[in-house]
């Protein structure tokens, strides 16, 4: 077993691994399972040697660079949840192993497993990899209302943190709303950061414009409407939304627009110009917003 522990004691990491063996993961993604123990998150994966889906990282040097960068950002007050270390089966082709991270405070911006029955990508599928016992309609109404009440200064900090992370060429996955947490004291936090942008790996000729990317992805606290160009798969499906009655849909739209306005104001306050915001909105359909 290969091990690299930057900001966690090896004995602590090994004890966490021992506990994980008898646990059921609290959440999961396509190729990752999350175990939450005290102040730590242990992330089991079969693809630790791959960055940004398919970039080989057999020596884990790219991952090590991400870990060091996240520590620097965290020390500056950026709410990007730091990675603490990793272990990996040396002979596993794609890297069967574990990532260790600080546990984010609060709860997911939105629980992807809870809202996915309402999203485009799950429609017509017999099976999906996310499961939740929560009622999707009740959950999205309550959670959207709660996010709409978040103070403006937390949205401002959220956009500032997104810019800080993107400017260090760290990839943010805006498609999963569970990749962001919210806590009343800490504000928004960014998780699941373990790769660089395509440009960093030499896969594209041009570096992304952090402000343009933040103008697009920074609307992730909002729900998108079916027909959006960006984030089309996670838009709310028109057919699925009929599970809510007309009054509930109006309530959801109203709260979603409150979130939209706070995101937009935060972008302007963080130096993202009107032109960049307008360009992003040409690619987005915000649920409840008239075009």
Architecture of domain 2-102: 2-Layer Sandwich (3.30)
Query: What is the number of alpha carbons within 13 Å of residue 127 lying toward its C-beta?
Result: 1
Query: Domain boundaries in the chain?
Result: 2-102, 107-281
pLDDT of residue 149: 98
Per-residue pLDDT of the chain (291 residues; tens, 9 = 90+): 899 999 999 999 999 999 999 999 888 777 789 999 999 999 999 999 999 988 999 999 999 999 999 999 999 999 999 999 999 998 999 999 999 999 999 999 999 999 999 999 999 887 777 888 899 999 999 999 999 999 999 999 999 999 999 999 999 999 999 999 999 999 999 999 999 999 999 999 999 999 999 999 999 999 999 999 999 999 999 999 999 999 999 999 999 999 999 999 999 999 999 999 999 999 999 999 986
């Amino acid at each position: 077993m290969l091990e690299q522990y930057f900001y966690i004691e090896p004995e602590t990491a090994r004890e966490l691994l021992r506990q994980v063996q008898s646990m059921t993961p609290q959440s999961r993604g396509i190729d990752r399972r999350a175990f939450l123990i005290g102040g730590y998150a242990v992330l089991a994966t079969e693809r630790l040697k791959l960055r940004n889906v398919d970039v080989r990282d057999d020596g884990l040097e790219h991952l090590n660079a991400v870990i060091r960068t996240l520590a620097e950002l965290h020390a500056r007050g950026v709410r990007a949840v730091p990675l603490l270390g990793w272990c990996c089966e040396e002979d596993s082709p794609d890297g069967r192993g574990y990532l260790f991270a600080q546990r984010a405070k609060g709860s997911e911006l939105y629980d992807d497993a809870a809202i996915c029955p309402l999203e485009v990508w799950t429609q017509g599928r017999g099976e999906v990899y996310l499961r939740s016992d929560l009622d999707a309609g009740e959950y999205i109404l309550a959670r959207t209302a709660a996010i709409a009440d978040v103070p403006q200064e937390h949205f401002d900090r959220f956009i500032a943190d997104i810019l800080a992370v993107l400017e260090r060429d760290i990839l943010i996955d805006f498609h999963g709303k569970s990749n962001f947490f919210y806590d009343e004291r800490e504000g928004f936090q960014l998780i699941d950061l373990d790769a660089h942008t395509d440009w960093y790996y030499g896969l594209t000729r041009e570096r992304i414009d952090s402000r343009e990317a933040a103008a697009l992805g920074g609307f992730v606290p909002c729900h998108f409407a079916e027909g959006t160009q960006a984030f089309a798969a996670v838009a709310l499906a028109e057919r699925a939304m009929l599970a809510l009655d007309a009054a509930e849909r109006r309530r959801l739209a109203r709260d979603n627009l409150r979130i939209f306005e706070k995101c937009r104001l935060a972008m302007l306050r963080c130096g993202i110009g009107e032109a960049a915001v307008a360009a992003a909105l040409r690619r987005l359909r915000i649920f409840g917003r008239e075009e």
